[in-house]
Structure formats: C-alpha cells, structure tokens
Amino acid sequence: MTHRSPKVLIVDDNDLMRTLLRGILRSESCQVVGEAKNGTIALDLVERTFPDVVFLDVMMPEMDGIEVLQYIQERHPRIKVIMITGNPSVENVQESIQGGAAGFIVKPFNTARVLDTLHKALQGAEKIAQ
C-alpha cells in the first residue's frame, strides 16, 4: 500500500452494504472519511473530505452513481472512483469505465476482490504521480 492510509468515501443507499464495505476497508487500514446514502450527500462529502478513493454505488435515489462519477471526474480527476453494483449489466460496466471509473465491484462483496480492486486503483494513481 501507499505510505499513508488512503482516504476512502463509501457511497451506497444500502446501510448493510456500507457497513460491510467499511469493515473490509478498515481491516486494510484505510481511513474511511465519510459515508453517503445518495449522490447528493456524496458530492458534498467529496468537496469536504477530498478522498483518494470513492466506492460508489451505481443505482441510488436522487442522483445515480454515473452522474456522481461524471461530477468527480470533471472537478477532481485525481480521485479514483470504484463503482459497485448489484446489477452488473453490460451498460452499467461500459458507462462506468467510459466515465473514468478505476474499477468495478459486484455485490455481494468479496473481500479479496474489493481489496484487489482498491490496490489496482491506488497503484494506477502512484504511477501517474511519479
């Protein structure tokens, strides 16, 4: 991992999914700087916490994950966004990758997959920073 704990924001409208993801990330010494249950709250938290990585649900009320991804990419391109979904349709995956997502995770969470995706996203960030 990087020299400092990565700051992570978790965005999912399902409380249980946020709890599970928080547990996985904290076990990996990530600093969870915030959690949001919809895109509107997520954008506010992005502006206040400046996370390194955002785990972002695709399907949410008020503002979906694709819209939030676009906002983050336009205003904070250094933030890595990992999309999460319970419905991994081809359209969702393609739209996310084209939108600049650093990775994609399907629910229910697999700890190894979550951490592998996180490490790949962070390694990509380190290569750019060098």
The values of phi and psi at residue 28, to 5°, are: -100, 15
**Pairwise CA distance, residues 53 & 57, whole Å:** 13
Helix (H), strand (E) at residue 24: helix 15-27
Q: What is the pTM of this model?
A: 0.91
* pLDDT tens, N- to C-terminus, the chain (130 residues): 445 799 999 999 999 999 999 999 999 889 999 999 999 999 999 999 999 999 999 999 889 999 999 999 999 999 999 999 888 788 888 889 899 999 999 998 899 999 999 999 998 766 654 4
CA dist., res. 104 & res. 118, Å (int) = 10
CATH number at residue 68: 3.40.50.2300
Would residue 27 count as lying in a domain?
yes
- Give a yes or no: residue 2 inside a domain: no
Helices first, then strands: H and E counts in the chain: 5, 5
Would you say 8 and 52 are in contact if contact means Cβ atoms under 8 Å apart? yes
Domains held by the chain: number? 1
